[in-house]
Amino acid sequence: MNKKSVFLGIESSCDETAAAIVARDADGRGEILADVVLSQLEEHAAFGGVVPEIAARAHVEAMDRLIAEALERSGLSLCELDGVAATIGPGLIGGLIVGAMSGKAMAYAANKPFYGVNHLEGHALTARLTNGVKFPFLMLLVSGGHTQIVLVKGVGQYERWGTTIDDALGEAFDKTAKLLGLGYPGGPQVEAAAKTGDPKRIALPRPMKGEARLDFSFSGLKTAVRQAAQNLAPLSEQDVADLCAAFQLAVAETLQDRVGRSLARFKAEGLSAEDRPALVVAGGVAANSAIRAVLTSLCDGQGFAFVAPPFRLCTDNAVMIAWAGLERAAAGFPANGFDMPVRSRWPLDAKAAALIGSGRKGAKA
Ligand code: KG4
Ligand code: ZN
């Protein structure tokens, strides 16, 4: 691609319906022309988590309107676009079908190329749009559906170094909040409660510490919080704050260990010629300031640039999907056929072994 190119992006893999128009120039600089996101948080709040059928129906209701709104805000018509990209996996199958079908229909009607995008690739490449990050870099993805450390070598070239063998980190925050009687989503509530808590009063485990691998496990930590809460019951406000602080400290120290060793491995393998290669964070949990503080000081200590795209683009959105489509097109990947199926499971690194219990029943990414 040797000129400016503009894509429509569509995202509907979990509980956000989103459409965006993004441009990429020949030098790889991006520009967001429209970014529309509709969260279904309220529809799912009463259930304490995402209900797939409710999500799929909400995507159907909102999708056409959101695409029209994105086009209108960009000031462009469908014919002026150069391509359409939609998330086709991983995620909840009903939502994926809605987004993929909408994207294919738009592309077919306007006779434009269609790119089926891996949602995780969208997260992985966002920092190139927002911060111009160069390959290779390390990504820590910590969301409601995933907890992964990924070496991003190039468009379509990913090596998964670590993943969770049970719960995703955001899921662990949400479950911890639920068992302590806090609302959904739990991450922000746990963080707020932890501010007035004593992280040292209650001892919690550091799962998988000391193992050579770079994987995570969070379900034991959540069980330890449950047991500590049962021992203290009935819980005072201070007990809840102390439990949240202890949980957050355990999480922060776990990330410090796994990410710290990943940075060391990146350096030891001589992967980059950059003075300060980047550690990029993505996913809703990246909003947590205790976690950010730990990662920032790790990066400072080990000579990495800590890159956190704006929060709006760390969580689910369609800008990253349009951008991933543009990056794929620019890298010479052919467009996908309209027969390309959606995939509820779709690892970024096809060679990485599936770990027992990893990924998710729900598949929030
Ligand atoms: O990336 P995201 O918005 O959605 C997907 O998972 O796709 O991530 C949502 C997750 C939820 O589990 C939420 O509890 C968590 O991110 N989260 C946080 C914080 N803000 C959101 N976790 C810890 N601390 C926060 N401040
Ligand atoms: Zn996501």
Cα(251) to ligand 1 centroid in Å equals: 14
- pLDDT tens for the chain, 365 residues long, are 458 999 999 999 988 999 999 999 999 999 999 999 998 888 887 777 788 888 889 899 999 999 999 999 999 999 999 999 999 999 999 999 999 999 999 999 999 999 999 999 999 999 999 999 999 999 999 999 899 999 999 999 999 999 999 999 999 999 999 999 998 889 999 999 999 999 999 999 999 998 999 999 999 999 999 999 999 999 999 999 999 999 999 999 999 999 999 999 999 999 988 889 999 999 999 999 999 999 999 999 999 999 999 999 999 999 999 999 999 999 999 999 999 999 999 999 988 867 645 444 343 44
Domains and CATH numbers, the chain: 5-129+313-346 (3.30.420.40), 135-308 (3.30.420.40)
Tell me whether residue 191 is annotated as binding.
yes
In the numeric block, which tokens belong to residue 238? Answer: 């201070």
| pLDDT of res. 55 | 84
- Rounded CA-CA distance 112/108 in Å is 6
- Rounded CA-CA distance 195/43 in Å is 29
Residue among 285, 291, 292, 295 whose CB has most ligand 1 atoms within 8 A, to mutate:
285
| Cβ pair 225, 175 in contact under 8 A | no
Closest ligand 1 atom to the C-alpha of 169? Answer: 12
Closest ligand 1 atom to the C-alpha of 314? Answer: 1
In the numeric block, which tokens belong to residue 131? Answer: 């911060």
| pLDDT of res. 355 | 66
Cα(200) to ligand 1 centroid in Å equals: 24
Tell me whether residue 123 is annotated as binding.
yes
Task: Identify the nearest ligand to the CA of 360 by its number.
Answer: 1
Q: How far apart are the first and last CA of the chain?
A: 30
Task: Identify the nearest ligand to the CA of 317 by its number.
Answer: 2
Tell me whether residue 317 is annotated as binding.
no
Cα(230) to ligand 2 centroid in Å equals: 33
Identify the residue whose C-alpha is closest to ligand 1 atom 8. 284
Q: What angle do CA 146, 248, 307 make, to 5 degrees?
A: 55
| Cβ pair 19, 317 in contact under 8 A | no
Tell me whether residue 146 is annotated as binding.
no
Cα(2) to ligand 2 centroid in Å equals: 30
Which pLDDT tens digit goes with each residue over 104-138?
Answer: 999 999 999 999 999 999 999 999 999 999 999 99
| Cβ pair 69, 36 in contact under 8 A | yes
